């Protein structure tokens, strides 16, 4: 080893010991005859001291030539610092240096390697290997590491077997777009990278493995945002001979274990909510329960009073922001403009303030009497000092719009505290959802999700009303995981493919292997997959998953550090039997 200790290890107990450290130069402070150097490694930072009266002149000159991020090895005696630094664990000691060797000089880095850096995101991604030296990034990856270890510990204790599944698989038409990989030895044919190991984990249940899990890379060629990457990691799980209740209990257990062991947080009981209630009261299927502000429907109270915007609406619905009645006209106008943005799409917003004097002032006073407005307040459960915000329009659209407004108000009022965690199971999702573009039903989760037995008869008469044995785990408004009880017999699976618009030939070509496996004694089974990157971001208090991935892609799906994706040589294209015809 090139060192006897790390840069985060030494304390007063080590005074008078001779030690050897190795690491990176964080900063140099040169006072002429006195030089201090902060030496850093993964474990911490230690101060080195070079003094003219006790150091060789050559050693002092060598120290003066050190620059930021030089890699050095140094030997010296541990001494007690006269001016201690209580901000770092090694702040009570320093090393009086006797030897110094530069192992590798460094160019001046393009940004400061400090917690508060001066580098923009694109620059830091280009030099990601430098960004990873910063404490704030390293700590996020250490968090990820700990979560992986605790996941494996819990799953092993629950008798799960970790099994790796293939990365080069068959492309299927459902779900997001696949990343495809040409086959050199099978000209004109392609592998796909897995969007999830779905069919393989079901085949493992057919194989009798009973309990499977895997921390696995998955790939989706979809538009990117802060919580998406083209390659991402799942905690993928499947169980045999279980009901939905068994799965919910098992993975509540995993969630509570991770919070307890990694965050030191003891989670309360995980609440449950149907998909229908989530949409009715929160406008989306992943409600943030850190604050209330439930939707209140006002059709009966607001329509028929001559206000044409409400009278012509399918749904009039609003939220009550507690304690926000003091919002100024300027603030309310800004909120109105916010909901009218194309990203939200509302045509306007109506407000009603419940003033401290007991009066209610609204933006539609000429249409509604004081008694009418009091009825609104009663419906909202509003009291003096509260602000009611109301939208109207087509039911589905207005719920989505109000959901965005609710989240914005939660943010503005400081109700989305990152230190509070509110987990929730959302259940009873629709099995199918109608797609206007293709004029057919698509699986809301995937085509292997089983319908609820009591809804099976509706598949032929009212497919959109069929509920699935599906469930999502939501924490603080973020979908962390989702799963379902699976179809495990050929007849039901063929029926599902039929309702998804597959011909028998198409279903056989794409999934014949799975349906055949079901004919060899498939057990009832179900499972779940957690978005591991999102889970890490929730634990770390971040919106973006990028800093929890060692080498992430940017918003265009590019790795700007290695310049990927990139073109390949004509000779490689020829070997793959590929000819490019790129549309401009």
Which residues define the annotated binding site for ATP? 220-222, 229, 479, 531-534
Closest CA relative to residue 112, chosen from 56, 46, 68, 61: 68
d(CA 7, CA 45): 5
Cα–Cα distance for residue pair 361/380, rounded to 1 Å: 15
Distance CA 526, CA 487 (A): 9
Conformation bin of residue 562: beta by default, left when phi > 0, alpha when psi is -120 to 50: alpha
Using alpha carbons, list the distances in angstroms from residue 87 to 91, 116, 223, 499.
Answer: 7, 16, 43, 63
Q: Judge contact between 198 and 448, C-beta under 8 A.
A: yes
Residues at the binding site for L-aspartate are 174, 220, 445, 486
Neighbours of 309 (CB within 10 A): 15
Q: Residues 537, 543: contact at Cβ < 8 Å?
A: yes
Cα 358 from Cα 361, distance rounded (Å): 10
- 232 φ, ψ to 5°? -145, 175
DSSP three-state, residue 202: helix
Please give the radius of gyration of the chain, using alpha carbons only, rounded to the nearest integer: 30
The Cα–Cα gap between 398 and 404 comes to 10
Instruction: Give the torsion through C-alpha atoms of 320, 323, 327, 332, to 10 deg.
Output: -10
- How far apart are alpha carbons 329 and 429 in whole angstroms? 40
Q: How far is CA 439 from CA 173, 330, 394, 584, in A?
A: 16, 44, 20, 29
Let me know: does 80 contact 15? Beta carbons within 8 Å: yes
Residue 494 CA to residue 436 CA, distance in Å, equals 24
Dihedrals φ, ψ of 328, to 5°?
-80, 170
Binding site, by residue number, is 174, 220-222, 229, 445, 479, 486, 531-534
Give, to the nearest 10 degrees, the angle between helix 244-258 and helix 135-157. Answer: 140
């Amino acid at each position: 080893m090139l060192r006897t200790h790390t840069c985060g290890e030494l304390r007063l107990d080590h005074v008078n010991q001779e030690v050897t450290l190795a690491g990176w130069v964080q900063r140099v402070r040169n006072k002429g005859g006195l030089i201090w150097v902060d030496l850093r490694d993964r474990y911490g930072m230690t101060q080195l001291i070079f003094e003219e009266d006790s150091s060789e002149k050559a050693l002092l000159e060598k120290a003066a030539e050190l620059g930021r991020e030089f890699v050095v090895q140094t030997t010296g005696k541990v001494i007690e610092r006269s001016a201690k630094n209580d901000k770092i664990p090694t702040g009570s000691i320093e090393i009086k240096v006797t030897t110094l060797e530069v192992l590798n000089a460094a160019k001046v880095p393009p940004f400061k390697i400090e917690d508060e850096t001066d580098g923009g995101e694109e620059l830091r991604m280009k030099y990601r290997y430098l960004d990873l030296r910063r404490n704030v990034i390293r700590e996020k990856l250490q968090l990820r590491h700990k979560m992986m270890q605790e996941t494996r510990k819990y799953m092993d204790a629950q008798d799960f077997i970790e099994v790796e599944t293939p990365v080069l698989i068959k492309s299927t038409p459902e779900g997001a777009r696949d990343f495809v990989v040409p086959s050199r030895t099978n000209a004109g044919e392609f592998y796909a990278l897995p969007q999830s190991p779905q069919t393989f984990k079901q085949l493992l249940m057919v194989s009798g493995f009973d309990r499977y899990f895997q921390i696995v890379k998955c790939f989706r060629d979809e538009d990117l945002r802060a919580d998406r990457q083209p390659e991402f990691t799942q905690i993928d799980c499947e169980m045999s001979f279980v009901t939905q209740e068994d799965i919910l209990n098992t993975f509540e257990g995993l969630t509570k274990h991770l919070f307890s062991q990694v965050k030191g947080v003891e989670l309360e009981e995980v609440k449950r909510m149907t998909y229908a209630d989530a949409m009715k009261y929160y406008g989306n299927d992943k409600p943030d329960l850190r604050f209330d502000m439930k939707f209140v429907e006002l059709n009966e109270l607001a329509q028929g009073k001559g206000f044409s915007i409400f009278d012509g609406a399918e749904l009039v619905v609003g939220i009550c922001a507690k304690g926000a009645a003091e919002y100024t006209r300027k603030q309310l106008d800004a909120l109105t403009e916010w909901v009218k943005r194309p990203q939200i799409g509302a045509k306007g917003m109506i407000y009603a303030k419940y003033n401290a004097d007991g009066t209610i002032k609204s933006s539609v006073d000429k249409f509604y009497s004081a008694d009418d407005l009091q009825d609104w307040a009663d419906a909202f459960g509003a009291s003096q000092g509260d602000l009611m915000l109301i939208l109207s329009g087509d039911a589905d659209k207005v719920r989505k719009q109000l959901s965005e407004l609710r989240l914005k108000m939660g943010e503005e009022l400081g109700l989305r505290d990152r230190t509070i965690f509110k987990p929730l199971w959302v259940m009873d999702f629709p099995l199918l959802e109608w797609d206007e573009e293709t004029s057919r039903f698509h699986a809301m989760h995937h085509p292997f999700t089983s319908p609820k037995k009591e809804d099976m008869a509706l598949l032929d008469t009212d497919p959109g009303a069929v509920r699935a044995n599906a469930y999502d785990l939501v924490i603080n408004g973020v979908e962390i995981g989702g799963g379902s009880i699976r179809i495990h017999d050929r007849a039901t699976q063929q029926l599902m493919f039929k309702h998804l618009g597959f011909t028998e030939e198409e279903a056989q070509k794409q999934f014949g292997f799975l349906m055949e496996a079901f004919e060899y004694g498939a057990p009832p089974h179900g499972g779940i997959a957690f978005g591991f990157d999102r889970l890490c971001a929730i634990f770390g208090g971040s919106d973006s998953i990028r800093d929890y991935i060692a080498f992430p892609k940017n918003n265009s799906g590019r790795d700007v550090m290695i310049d990927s994706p990139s073109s390949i040589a004509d000779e490689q294209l020829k070997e793959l039997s590929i000819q490019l015809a790129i549309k401009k």
